[in-house]
Amino acid sequence: MPYPPFIMLDEKSGLPLYRQIYEAIRRAILSGNLRPTTPLPATRLLSKELGVSRMTVINAYDQLFAEGYLEAKTGAGTFVAAHLPEEFLQTSGFERREHQAGPSTRKVKLSDYGENLAQNSDSILRHHGTSELVPFQHGVPGVEEFPFAAWAKIAQRWQKKPPPLILSYGDSVGFQPLREAIAVHLAAARGVLCRVEQIIITNGTQQALDLIGRIFLTKTTDVYIEDPSYHGARDIFAATGARLVPVPIDEEGFDLRTARKRSRRARLAYVTPSHQYPLGVTMSLARRLNLLEWARDRDAFVIEDDYNSEYRYRGRPLASLQGLDRDGRVIYLGTFSKTIFPSLRLGYLVVPTNLIEVFAAARALTDLHSPSIDQAVLAEFIAERHFARHIRRMRGIYEERQQILVEEVRQNLKGLLEVAPAEAGMHLIGWLPRGIDDRDVGRRAAEANLKIAPLSAYCIEQRLRGGLLLGYTAFNEKLIRQGVKKLGRVLNEII
């Protein structure tokens, strides 16, 4: 029997050959071109006719057998299954389903949360896409400098002969040795005061913020949020239906006095006190103490997002806001995306003792727990001091890369962009001449294969001078120099 004429293979397609064969036969069955009990060619014959290996055809047939499209008759061969739902054997019915798989204008009834997501899906997906490693993508570590040899050695020990317990379901709050290692690190490096029980492992900061939003926020809630601020926090809080109360940032950071004028109902405040995102301002001690006093008096909570405090290049590391808290009012967030690599997707919460159970329950309901082997590898990586050595080494590298960026801008972009060195962080703000639209610069930079975020994209109500977020940590000297030259050509066309 010759092979069915409907099977057309495309060697250049990203779809595996067995999958192309499977799709062609399945489509022929559903459309009625192959009727029930129709015989199909033997795998050896079909593979010869198509010019592929027999195993490729066997894999396609096996999938069709598993899904009930084919059946075998001993001594007779392979046939289209005799019993398929009649509605699927009608061409019009199949075509209708094919059409419905595409975009539909039919109104779908969603929850309030779903409606909020649907209305803002374009913005959310644009803000949370793949990070392109081209100058000047910010928030990405220099992964080429990561000690992968040490990491791989630890990973090999866990993966070569993992204990049975590590392969089963784990604790929703996280792998205990990792929580212990984080507690020791935070006490020494950030002045965080906590017991191991207060640490909950999350899949990065995004999940931590999502848990907070679900636990605290409703459509009748007001939440203070810095202006400008991190997209992730804004998107998550807005999705709950809560009213965002933007609070301007000045030279001392979060302005509580203005916050109180704008809302007296807020019971939650989101801040980045050690290195404000994205402006880089450090919240003054007086402002920190006032914020803690407000939280105590109003029975409120403060979210401290300590996203990149490890990278401070001059002076002593600043103590965390949580370390000043004596009333259990601070929920502390940390992440390994900026210190290890983003795809690891591990972060943590430090919650007040009276919130441990509710956060543990919420964490269990999301995805049970983070990958246990990844947690075990990270715990050992920290315990063996690889993490501390890596951070110290990267501080020196990042400081040098920042200096290169500042000097390159000073020499090549004078009059086009103002950049000053910073004492901490992973990006700098490049200030544009007044009247220049930073979003327009960002779009044109993208056409030159540069990834530059406009400062205005992070503002809610604030109207700041046009600025560009220039990440430098992921790029060596050569890439920084090349990036500045490209940016110079973009700016010269605009200014």
Under a CB-based contact definition with an 8 Å cutoff, are residues 139 and 280 in contact? no
Q: Could you tell me if 417 and 436 lie in one domain?
A: yes
pLDDT tens-digit series, residues 323-358? 999 999 999 999 999 999 999 999 999 999 999 999
Sequence-ordered alpha helix ranges (H) in 105-216:
112-119, 121-127, 148-160, 176-189, 204-216
Q: Could you tell me if 429 and 347 lie in one domain?
A: no
The answer as to whether 359 is a domain residue is: yes
Q: Sign of the C-alpha dihedral, residues 114, 120, 121, 125?
A: negative
Q: Could you tell me if 461 and 341 lie in one domain?
A: no
pLDDT of residue 33: 85
Q: Could you tell me if 82 and 213 lie in one domain?
A: no
**What is the average pLDDT value for the chain, to the nearest integer?**
90
Q: Sign of the C-alpha dihedral, residues 15, 17, 22, 23?
A: positive
Who wins on pLDDT, 207 or 86?
207
pLDDT band at 92 (very low <50, low <70, confident <90, very high): very low
Q: How many domains does the chain have?
A: 3
For residue 340, give every residue at least 6 positions away whose Cβ sits within 8 Å of its Cβ, in sequence order, or none: 141, 146, 346, 378, 387
**Does pTM surpass 0.95?**
no
Q: Could you tell me if 262 and 327 lie in one domain?
A: yes
Which of these, 248, 238, 243, lies nearest to 267 by C-alpha position?
243
Residue 378 CA: distances (Å) to CA of 271, 363, 388: 27, 20, 12
The answer as to whether 6 is a domain residue is: no
Q: Could you tell me if 39 and 161 lie in one domain?
A: no
The answer as to whether 125 is a domain residue is: yes
The answer as to whether 106 is a domain residue is: no
Q: Domain containing 46: what range?
A: 17-100
Peptide bond into 228 cis (omega under 30): yes
Question: In angstroms, rounded to a whole number, what is the distance separating the alpha carbons of residues 256 and 473?
Answer: 32
Q: Could you tell me if 346 and 401 lie in one domain?
A: no
Q: Which of 329, 358, 387 is the last residue of a domain?
A: 387
Q: Which of 336, 353, 387 is the last residue of a domain?
A: 387
pLDDT of residue 103: 55
Who wins on pLDDT, 116 or 235?
235
The enclosing domain of 363 has a CATH number of 3.40.640.10
Q: Could you tell me if 442 and 328 lie in one domain?
A: no
Structure tokens at 434: 């007044």
The enclosing domain of 413 has a CATH number of 3.90.1150.10
Q: Which residue has the tokens 């327009």?
A: 440
Q: Could you tell me if 239 and 257 lie in one domain?
A: yes
Question: In angstroms, rounded to a whole number, what is the distance separating the alpha carbons of residues 468 and 483?
Answer: 13
Return the half-sphere exposure (C-beta side, CA atoms, 13 A cut-off) of residue 291. Answer: 32
Q: Could you tell me if 374 and 428 lie in one domain?
A: no
Q: Could you tell me if 221 and 366 lie in one domain?
A: yes
Q: Which of 361, 387, 413 is the last residue of a domain?
A: 387
443-470: b (≥16 Cβ within 10 Å) or e:
ebbeebebbbbbbbbbbeebebebbbbb
Q: Could you tell me if 372 and 271 lie in one domain?
A: yes
Peptide bond into 278 cis (omega under 30): yes
Sequence-ordered alpha helix ranges (H) in 37-120:
43-50, 54-66, 91-100, 112-119
The answer as to whether 159 is a domain residue is: yes
Instruction: Report percent pLDDT > 70 for the chain.
Output: 93
